[in-house]
């Protein structure tokens, strides 16, 4: 793979699964705990606001509209693959896309984030939630099919938000610092809470299965707000629903990644949800994280995205440290500990890719 273009050699269609066969992919090898030819690297939010080509192509188009416009979502997904030569593409999407696709009144407001028209706070609200069907997810599936044709030997990662994070947006009505309404509902009305998360697990699974059937090579279940919970609350009120989503993909034949922000103390529990790869944010070293997940679990992470502003020497030192610590895991996919920040210099990311690829495996 080179930045000059997307290589299309040594790619075979897997007719039985409707998916490409990518035997040379370092990303897929590391995700499965096998030895890759080099350490793979990709970045959460690698497609988006940090790229001038993204800002150009998104002019006049809302975020959710862009996610649900197949040719535009395809182009945006491809941009960082062309620019950086990363080892995987991730479908351009947003956590609330399946809600919007199902017919929930939600939009992304500049400077705020997702805003829900009618928050969900009662059993009646839960019962009124629409189900996601094939028609709703069709634009996303079409974007995946377009990407599979364009990506050559570069794997494509599907994406969805986990039930807890979706539930938090719905209950709070938007982003929340303290998740007070969410936690109140979890503890005061656990039956309503579990009913809500059950609906959202169905929605998430439908969303991810459609991506798998359209041809993605891996999936990532992203739980943005799980780090706000105690381990006890996570295990009792969240883990069963994330487990159901990941279990529903067990027969899909693709690696499953599970990531949350601020979840260092939850890594053991999150690893039990059934993922093949557990994403780690920047708060704990990877060699420590490896002791908190089950043996054989690959790790993804975990450069602090803010350090990309610290200069080349600092970034190079931190990348080498993380590569060394990642050796403790069954497999390691280099990534940031969260998404690329909007003001990040794309050249800084390009240098990270070059350094990771140039560092020999032991």
Active site residues: 45, 49, 58, 94, 169
- Would you say how long the chain is, in residues? 362
| CA-based end-to-end distance of the chain | 22
Nearest to 51 by CA among 95, 8, 27, 86: 86
Distance in angstroms (rounded) separating the CA atoms of residues 298 and 293: 9
**Cβ pair 218, 28 in contact under 8 A:** yes
Name 309's Cβ contacts closer than 8 Å, sequence gap at least 6: 341, 343, 344, 345, 348
How many whole angstroms separate alpha carbon 267 and alpha carbon 215?
A: 29
DSSP designation for 299? E
DSSP strand pairing (19-21 vs 12-14): antiparallel
Kindly state the helix (H) or strand (E) to which residue 308 belongs, with its residue range. Answer: none
How many alpha carbons fall within 13 Å on the CB side of residue 92? 30
Q: Which residues of 224-261 are buried (b: 16+ CB within 10 A; e: fewer)?
A: bbbbbbeeebbeebbbebbbbbbebbeebebbbbbbbb
């Amino acid at each position: 793979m080179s930045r000059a273009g997307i290589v299309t050699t040594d790619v075979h269609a897997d007719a039985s699964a409707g998916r490409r066969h990518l035997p040379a992919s370092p990303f897929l090898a590391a995700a499965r705990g096998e030895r890759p030819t080099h350490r793979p690297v990709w970045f959460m939010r690698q497609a988006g606001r940090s790229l001038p080509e993204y800002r150009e192509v998104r002019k006049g188009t809302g975020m959710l509209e862009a996610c649900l416009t197949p040719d535009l979502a395809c182009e945006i997904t491809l941009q960082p693959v062309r620019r950086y030569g990363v080892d995987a593409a991730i479908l351009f999407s947003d956590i609330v896309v399946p809600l919007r696709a199902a017919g929930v009144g939600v939009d992304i407001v500049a400077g705020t984030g997702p805003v829900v028209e009618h928050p969900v706070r009662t059993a009646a609200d839960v019962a009124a939630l629409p189900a996601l069907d094939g028609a709703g997810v069709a634009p996303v599936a079409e974007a995946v099919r377009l990407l599979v044709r364009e990506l050559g030997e570069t794997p494509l990662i599907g994406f969805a938000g986990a039930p807890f994070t979706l539930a938090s947006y719905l209950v709070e009505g938007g982003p929340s610092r303290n998740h007070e309404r969410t936690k109140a509902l979890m503890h005061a009305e656990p039956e309503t809470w579990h009913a809500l998360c059950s609906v959202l697990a169905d929605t998430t699974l439908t969303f991810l299965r459609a991506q798998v059937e359209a041809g993605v090579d891996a999936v990532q279940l992203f739980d943005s707000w799980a780090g706000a919970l105690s381990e006890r609350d996570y295990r009792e009120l969240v883990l069963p629903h994330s487990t159901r989503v990941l279990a529903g993909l067990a027969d899909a034949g693709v690696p499953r990644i599970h990531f949350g922000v601020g979840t260092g103390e939850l890594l053991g529990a999150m690893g039990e949800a059934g993922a093949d790869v557990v994403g780690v944010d920047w708060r704990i070293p990877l060699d420590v994280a490896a002791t908190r997940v089950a043996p054989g679990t690959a790790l993804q992470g975990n450069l602090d995205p803010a350090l990309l502003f610290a200069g080349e020497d600092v970034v190079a030192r931190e990348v080498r440290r993380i590569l060394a610590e990642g050796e403790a895991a069954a497999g390691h996919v280099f990534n940031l500990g969260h998404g690329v920040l909007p003001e990040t210099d794309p050249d800084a990311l390009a240098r990270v890719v070059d350094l990771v690829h140039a560092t020999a495996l032991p």
